[in-house]
C-alpha cells in the first residue's frame, strides 16, 4: 500500500498551457500545494489561463509565475531549486513546425528537457519528475495492417499500442520527443531521479485553444461553429483515441500516489479503443451536437501520419488502478459548453497577441 505524500512545492513547466493550467487548477482546488508556473507565454490563450488560475488562487501566496524559456539553463536551475515535484509540459508541439525548423525543435524539446533534468539532479532534492511525450515516437506503424470501412480505418483484433511497440522516431518532432523521453527515463536509472514518462494520444477538453497542429477536436468544433473551412490531410478516415484532460490529470495523481511502482516507468496514456474516433466520425458528432456542418477540403496525407492509433493503457491501469471516465461525446460536449462561455477569446478575428501587453501587466506582480 502506497502512502500518499503531501504536496509541497509543485513546479509546472508549460504551466500556462492547456494541460499545465488544468493540472495547476486541480492542485489549487484540491490540495494545499504551492504552484510555480514557468512558461514563455508564446501560445494563444495562455494569458486567459493565467487569469483563471489567479482568480482561483485569489490573494493567497500559493501561485507564483515565472516568464521564462526552458532553453535558459540558469533560469531553469533557479526555478527547480526549491521544487519537490516537477511536471514538464513545455514543448515545441507541431510536426509541421519541426519540419520548418528542426534545430529549434531540438533545442526546445531535447535541450530544454536536459536542462530540467540536470537542474533536478543537481538540486539534491530528488524531485518527482513527470514528462509528457507522444505517440509519435512509434512512427507511422506501417507494420500494423489496417482495414478500410466507409468512415474509418480499423485494425482487426488490435487491442491498441502498448509500451512493447518498437520505437520508430519519424519526423524531427518524433525524434526530439523520443530522445527527450529516453533521457527522462535514463535519469531515473543513472541518477535515481524518480521520473515518469507519459506517451500520450489525443488530449482534449475544456479550455483548449485548438489549431491545425494541436487540439484537433477543439479546432474542428470551433471551425464548424464559426463556419470556417479547414483542411484535412488524408481522407478523414484516420483514427485516434481521445482522452479528456480531466482524466489525464487523474492519471497524474495516480502515478504520484503509487510512486514506488511508477518511478522510472514509461506509460502509454489515452482513451483506448472505447474512445477511438475517426476525423469523419467527429465531424458527424459535431453536427449532431451543434447543428453546424464543418466544411473541409482534403489534401495529400502528411509523411509519417498514422492511419490508426489507439492506446493500450493496461500497464498504467495495472500499476495505479486508473481508467478513463469521460467518453468522446462527453469530452466534445465539455469543449462546446466552454466555448459558449468564451466565444470572444476564441474568435479568430482576434489576433494571437490580443491583450498580451495587458496580460503581462496583470501578472507582473506575480512573476519573478
Q: Where are the alpha helices (DSSP H) in 258-366?
A: 259-262, 279-290, 314-320, 328-341, 343-346, 356-364
Determine which helix (DSSP H) or strand (DSSP E) holds 250, and give its type and residue range: helix 245-257
| Helix (H/G/I), strand (E/B), else coil: 292 | coil
- Annotated active-site residue 173? The verdict is yes
Spatial strand order of the sheet with 34-39 comes to: 63-67, 34-39, 9-13, 85-88, 128-134, 195-200, 265-269
Using CA atoms, how far apart are residues 368 and 366, in angstroms rounded to an integer?
7
Is the Cβ–Cβ distance between 2 and 23 less than 8 Å? no
Q: Closest Cα partner for 110 from 173, 49, 54?
A: 173
**Residue length of the chain:** 368
Q: Choosing from 173, 187, 222, 309, which is the catalytic residue? A: 173
| Helix (H/G/I), strand (E/B), else coil: 344 | helix
What pairing do the DSSP bridges indicate for beta strands 34-39 and 9-13? parallel
Cell numbers standing for residue 326: 469521460
| Helix (H/G/I), strand (E/B), else coil: 16 | coil
Q: For residue 252, how many other CB atoms are within 10 A of its CB?
A: 22
Burial 289-318 (b: 16+ CB within 10 A, else e): eeeeebebeeeeeeebebbbbbbbbebbbe
Task: Provide the annotated active-site residues.
Answer: 173
Amino acid at each position: 500500500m502506497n502512502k500518499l505524500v503531501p504536496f509541497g512545492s509543485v513546479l509546472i513547466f508549460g504551466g500556462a498551457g492547456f494541460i499545465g493550467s488544468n493540472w495547476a487548477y486541480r492542485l489549487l482546488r484540491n490540495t494545499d500545494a504551492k504552484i510555480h508556473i514557468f512558461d514563455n507565454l508564446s501560445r494563444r490563450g495562455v494569458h486567459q489561463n493565467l487569469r483563471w488560475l489567479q482568480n482561483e488562487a485569489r490573494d493567497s501566496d500559493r501561485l507564483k509565475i515565472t516568464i521564462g524559456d526552458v532553453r535558459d539553463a540558469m533560469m531553469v536551475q533557479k526555478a527547480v531549486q526549491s521544487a519537490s515535484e516537477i511536471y514538464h509540459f513545455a514543448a515545441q508541439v507541431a510536426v509541421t513546425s519541426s519540419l520548418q525548423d528542426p534545430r529549434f525543435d531540438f533545442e526546445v524539446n531535447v535541450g530544454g528537457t536536459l536542462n530540467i533534468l540536470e537542474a533536478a539532479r543537481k538540486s539534491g532534492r530528488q524531485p518527482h519528475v513527470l514528462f509528457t511525450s507522444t505517440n509519435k515516437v512509434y512512427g507511422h506503424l506501417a507494420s500494423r495492417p489496417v482495414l478500410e470501412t466507409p468512415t474509418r480505418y480499423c485494425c482487426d483484433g488490435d487491442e491498441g499500442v502498448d509500451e512493447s511497440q518498437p520505437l520508430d522516431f519519424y519526423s524531427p518532432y518524433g525524434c526530439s520527443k523520443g530522445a527527450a523521453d529516453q533521457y527522462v527515463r535514463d535519469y531515473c536509472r543513472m541518477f535515481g531521479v524518480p521520473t515518469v514518462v507519459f506517451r500520450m494520444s489525443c488530449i482534449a477538453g475544456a479550455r483548449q485553444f485548438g489549431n491545425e497542429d494541436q487540439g484537433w477536436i477543439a479546432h474542428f468544433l470551433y471551425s464548424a461553429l464559426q463556419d470556417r473551412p479547414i483542411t484535412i490531410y488524408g481522407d478523414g478516415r484516420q483514427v485516434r483515441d481521445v482522452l479528456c484532460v480531466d482524466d489525464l490529470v487523474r492519471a497524474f495523481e495516480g502515478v504520484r500516489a503509487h510512486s514506488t511502482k511508477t518511478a522510472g516507468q514509461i506509460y502509454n496514456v489515452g482513451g483506448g479503443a472505447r474512445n477511438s474516433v475517426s476525423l469523419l466520425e467527429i465531424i458527424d458528432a459535431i453536427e449532431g451536437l451543434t447543428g453546424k456542418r464543418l466544411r473541409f477540403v482534403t489534401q495529400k496525407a502528411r509523411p509519417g501520419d498514422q492511419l490508426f492509433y489507439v492506446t493500450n493503457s493496461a500497464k498504467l491501469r495495472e500499476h495505479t488502478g486508473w481508467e478513463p471516465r469521460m467518453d468522446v461525446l462527453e469530452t466534445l460536449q465539455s469543449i462546446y459548453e466552454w466555448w459558449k462561455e468564451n466565444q470572444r477569446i476564441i474568435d479568430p478575428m482576434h489576433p494571437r497577441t490580443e491583450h498580451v501587453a495587458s496580460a503581462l501587466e496583470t501578472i507582473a506582480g506575480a512573476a519573478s
